[in-house]
Structures are given as C-alpha cells and as structure tokens.
Amino acid sequence: MRFMMLMIPKGYETAAPGTVPDAAAVAAMMKYNESLQKAGVLLALDGLHPPSTGARVTFPGGKPKVTDGPFAEAKEVLGGYWMIQVKSREEAIEWASRCPASENEIIEVRQVQEMSDFPPDVQEAAAGFAEMQMKSGHSQGA
C-alpha cells in the first residue's frame, strides 16, 4: 500500500521567497529520510518552495483564473512530502510519528489510490493510465 506523508508546517503560508529550512532541522530530517530508505519503504520525497513563489488556478464558469502567491486566506500549506510503500495504514502512521517534526508541524497521512481500488468501469475508462505511468518512468505500487 502506498501512502503520502504530507508535511504541513504552520507559518509556511507567509514564508518569503528564498526561505530555506534551517541546517540543523535538515540534518535531523536527512537522518529520518535515510532510515526510511534503509527500511526499504521510501519511494519519493521532495521539499517545496514557499507558496509566496507559487500560483493558484481556479476555473470559475469553466474559465481559468490565475492568482500568484502568497495566498492571504490560506491557513495551511504543504511544505513537502514523502511517498512510502508499507503493509498497512498503521505502519504508515508509525513512520509519520517517528518524523523529527517540530511542534509547529503536522504530518497528514493519506493513502494513494491504486487502479485496483476502483470499480471495473472506472478502471476501464482509465485504462492506459498505468501504461502511461510506466512511460513516464514511474511504476504502480503493490
């Protein structure tokens, strides 16, 4: 089963462009990242530049509307993520609990949809998606 661990750092919604994480926090996080990798569960991980450098697109009336960051009304924003492959939701939560996160950080654990999770008619309509993922160099988890 694949899960995303979504890092939600309180306050990142107002971080200025060019903000980088503090070196000591990064070192602790790298140790954690290595433990995930050594356990054979780590599939992917990334950090994200703050939303002040990003953009949002909505589609009111079907027409795209672009808004540049920062987003004043955002209460939470994503700071980064890990994708892991584990045997159960409990195991995913256990890994999230081991993250050297601070009191200002929340980790949201979310299960990734696999093709086999969908009813047959949806699988048929989405046929070719798995093949497309292979072509893009990414493979489906078990």
Which residues 24-53 are close enough to bind other proteins by CB under 8 A? 26-27, 30, 33-34, 37, 40, 42-49, 51, 53
Please report, as residue ranges, which positions from 102 to 131 form the binding site for other proteins (by CB under 8 A).
Answer: 102-103, 105-113, 117-119, 121-122, 125-129
Please report, as residue ranges, which positions from 68 to 87 form the binding site for other proteins (by CB under 8 A).
Answer: 74-76, 78, 80-81, 83
Give the separation between CA 129 and CA 119, rounded to whole angstroms.
15
Residue 74 CB, nearest approach to other proteins (Å): 7
Instruction: Please pick, from the candidates 16, 64, 72, 120, the single residue that binds other proteins as defined by CB under 8 A.
Output: 64
Q: Nearer Cβ to other proteins, position 16 or 59? A: 59
**Residue 17: beta bridge partners?**
none
User: Is 142 one of the binding residues for other proteins (CB under 8 A)?
Assistant: no
Tokens linked to 30:
């790298």
Residue 85 CB, nearest approach to other proteins (Å): 8
Phi first, then psi: give them for residue 116, nearest 5 degrees.
Answer: -70, -10
Instruction: Please pick, from the candidates 11, 39, 56, 88, the single residue that binds other proteins as defined by CB under 8 A.
Output: 56
3-state SS class at 8 = strand
Instruction: Please pick, from the candidates 16, 57, 72, 142, the single residue that binds other proteins as defined by CB under 8 A.
Output: 57
3-state SS class at 7 = strand
Report the Cα–Cα distance between both ends of the chain, in Å, rounded. 6
Name residue, tokens 């697109």.
57
For residues 49 and 55, the answer to whether their CB atoms sit within 8 Å is no
Burial degree of 132 (CB within 10 A; 0-12, 13-18, 19+): exposed
Residue 17 CB, nearest approach to other proteins (Å): 10
Instruction: Please pick, from the candidates 11, 87, 88, 89, the single residue that binds other proteins as defined by CB under 8 A.
Output: 89
